[in-house]
Structure 1
Amino acid sequence: MLTYEECLEMSDLSADEIAAIAEHEHLDSMIAVALGHYLVTHDGERRIRRFILDDLEQARRSGDTRKQALLNGALQHFIATHPQYLQRNNL
């Protein structure tokens, strides 16, 4: 049986990116890893970016500056580690 950490390593996403997916989609973290991996391998980076941006907006509205900082970091990491997304979407 694979551990969460092993699955996370195979997903091509960070723990913070997976946490954003889990929060946005109201999923268990292990299921969020599977969804994130599927999206990354099937041109779904735009959805992942949207999940993070939606969560960031929710944190901003609720005044949760700690969560905003965490999600800003996740967004920057996602953009830096998925340059093919930027190329496909002219961003």
Structure 2
Amino acid sequence: MLTYDDCVGLTDLEKEEIEAIAQHEHVPEIVAAELGCCLIHQLGGAMQIDRIIRDDIRNAARHGHPDEALHWKQVLRQFEAAHPAMEQEAA
């Protein structure tokens, strides 16, 4: 039987990145893991995940949650560092 951690390991994403997708899309984290895995492996998908995390930052700030906004900013930095090919997708 696969655990949630096993599923995360198959996605090429970090748990926090999956949490960002889950929050943005209002779905359980296991569903977000599947969505994130599909996105990260398709052309332009990393850009979509980047936008999702940026939306989470804006939503947290807009709702007066600066600590949450800071958390998502750290997740964004981590995501962009781990997926430098994203810049090539934009070209």
Q: RMSD between aligned alpha carbons?
A: 1.0
Whole-angstrom CA distance in 2 between matches of 1:74 and 1:13: 11
**One-letter code aligned to 1:55:** D
**One-letter code aligned to 2:36:** G
* Counterpart position of 2:13: 13
Contact 1:21 1:48 survives alignment (8 Å): yes
Whole-angstrom CA distance in 2 between matches of 1:47 and 1:63: 25
* Structure 1: gaps spanning 5 or more residues: none
**One-letter code aligned to 1:28:** P
**One-letter code aligned to 2:47:** R
Give secondary structure in 2 for the equivalent of 1:12: coil
- Runs of 4+ with >3 A deviation: none
Please identify which structure carries the higher helix content.
Answer: 1
**One-letter code aligned to 2:7:** C
Report matched runs for 1:20-59 at 5 Å.
20-43=20-43, 44-59=45-60
Alpha-carbon offset, residue 9 of structure 1: 1.2
Whole-angstrom CA distance in 1 between matches of 2:2 and 2:49: 24
1:33-77 superposed Cα distances (whole Å, 9 cap, x missing partner): 000000001121111111111111000111111211110011001
Whole-angstrom CA distance in 1 between matches of 2:16 and 2:73: 10
* Structure 2: gaps spanning 5 or more residues: none
Alpha-carbon offset, residue 88 of structure 1: 2.1
Number of aligned positions between the proteins: 90
Alpha-carbon offset, residue 82 of structure 1: 0.5
**One-letter code aligned to 1:83:** P
